[in-house]
Amino acid sequence: MTMLAIGFVGKPWPQGPLWSVVGTVIVTCVVAYLATALPARHLLRGSGVPVPAG
């Protein structure tokens, strides 16, 4: 967002309300968490690869 703001407005902060920056950061963090946690939970919950005994 900083690079877009510099390109469009010439200032490092986007124009508009500050909550839009906070909202973007929160949404990005939630998506990254879900993209990491859900597959990891699915893999850890499964039986995994069977290992031959002996």
pLDDT of 20-52, one tens digit each? 889 989 999 999 999 999 988 888 887 666 667
| CB environment 22-39: b (16+ within 10 A), e (fewer) | eeeeeeeeeeeeeeeeee
Confidence at residue 27, expressed as pLDDT on a 0 to 100 scale: 97
Confidence at residue 13, expressed as pLDDT on a 0 to 100 scale: 78
Confidence at residue 3, expressed as pLDDT on a 0 to 100 scale: 85
Confidence at residue 26, expressed as pLDDT on a 0 to 100 scale: 96
H or E element in which residue 18 lies: none
